[in-house]
Amino acid sequence: MLFTFIRHQWLGFWRSKGKGRDLGIQLVMGFLILYITTTALFVGFNLDRLIIEFFPDKSVFAVFNGLLLYYFALDFLMRFQLQDLPALAIVPYLHLRIPKEKILAFLQLRPLFSVFNLIPFFIFTPFILSEISLISDTLTASMYLFALLCLVLWNNYAVLYLKRIATGRLWLMVTGFFLAGIAVLLEYLGIYHLSGVSDFVFSSVLSYPWIAVLFALPALMIFRINGNYLRHHLYIEEIAGKRKGTKLFSLNFPASFGLPGKLAALEIKLILRNKRPRATVSKSLIFIFYGFIFYKQKELDANQFGLLFFAAIFMVGNISTIYGQFMFGWQGEEFDGLMTSKMTLKDFFRGKLLLMTIWTALFTLILTPYGFLNPKILLLHFTACLYYIGVGNVVVLYFATLNNKKIELSKGASMNWQGVSASTMVLALPLIILPVGLYYLFSWISTPYIALYILAGIGLAALLLQGYAIKLLIQAFNYRKYKITEGFRQNS
């Protein structure tokens, strides 16, 4: 029966209307996967040399063992952002005489054929066979590899389960990223070090190979939990995600701003109820950890804010940029109806700007804990927030008027290039590089703090002149309105 499902999907692919487009995407994905696997194999065969080069004073095995939990933590985050749920159209099979267990078996086994599950073996297997097997017997090396396999399976099914239960529950994702941020902060402050825990765990496996059997318990447990969840939710109502008579939550705050606020509230509901925009917004949450990479105490003490301001702009405005660049494409299906309604373009753009302003202010608030590292970071974030609300959001909406590609809301965001155009590629140039360039100019003329105050003042002045900016956006939109609506009518 499993081969029957596979054959049906294969036939469905070749008989689909967008076969040419999908085939091109699959070819690009194939080359990308080939490149990733080749790179992973290269790293695997040269991992010992890389460790010696970067950590010359430490034991190769101590470094390797200490980095494993970091790898699987990063792998978990990458899977959560990029790994899609199995997309089997099971609705046509539910009324047939097909045992539910066979459908569940396919849904459970299909995620195993993921590139995320192959990369660890291309990296770790050459190192284990060439290094660990030389100092230990074959059984020890096999049990060590078995422990890594169990962690791969745990990540695979834990991500699938969490993404399923988090669908429509944005607070779960926000809570998860908040807890992950606390863990990273504690690691950054030196309160604990995951490398020490990782080294202890995997060194124990080398000393006592039978410990690897214990790794199978959480893997089997999450496999069973995921299967039980699928078994109890394998119904049309659950698949369609329709819950009549229930409200997600009240959105009274945006609606208090009149018609623009109501439009912003409707946009928030669109995000929470559809797969592509929800995944796009949730992906931006991972960028809140970029500060741990860019914010260095040495630059903060020396008041060298150039690269730090780049990070602040990027983190504060990333959700508005990632979502806003496709701003009109999200309503591509009903865009003709929007353009023929009583709603004015002024209210339409005010609603978009209000939504992006709320996001920017909210992200600035979420990033407040960085102030524990250094209070100067709060000044960077506050300056970036004012500049982005006044200038950045307007720039994003202007570039959105250059895009006439409709977005299918039901599709996932992982490796999905639908809606991407040349304008989205060059958006970062005026949005991030321009304010950083202005900072360097003003700091060269005066001082770093004066440069930040000037940028904050530019953002505040642009915010006060937002009515004039909306007029310019309306002119740009009217110039391309018919080309945009024509593009949205086409099935991309």
Per-residue confidence band for 230, with pLDDT thresholds at 50, 70 and 90:
confident
Q: What is the pTM of this model?
A: 0.58
Q: Is the confidence at residue 243, as pLDDT, over 50?
A: no
* The predicted structure's pLDDT at residue 220: 92
What is the chain's alpha carbon radius of gyration, rounded to the nearest angstrom? 25
Cα 260 from Cα 345, distance rounded (Å):
10
C-alpha count within 13 angstroms, C-beta hemisphere, residue 201: 19
Cα 227 from Cα 232, distance rounded (Å):
9
What are residue 396's phi and psi, to 5 degrees? -60, -45
CA 468 vs CA 6, 349, 394, 479: distances in Å: 56, 12, 11, 17
Check residues 260 and 246 and name the one with the higher pLDDT. 260
Per-residue confidence band for 6, with pLDDT thresholds at 50, 70 and 90:
low
Cα 62 from Cα 198, distance rounded (Å):
9
Cα angle 386, 326, 423; round to 5: 85
Domain boundaries, the chain: 2-240, 252-489
Q: Is the confidence at residue 59, as pLDDT, over 50?
A: yes
Token pair, residue 476, equals: 């740009």
Q: What is the pLDDT averaged over residues 45-68?
A: 81
Residue 128 has what DSSP assignment? I
* The predicted structure's pLDDT at residue 15: 57
Percent of the chain with pLDDT over 90: 5
On average, the pLDDT of the chain sits at 77
Distance of CA 450 to the CA centre of its chain: 35
**Beta carbons of 323 and 275 less than 8 angstroms apart:** no
Cα 191 from Cα 475, distance rounded (Å):
55
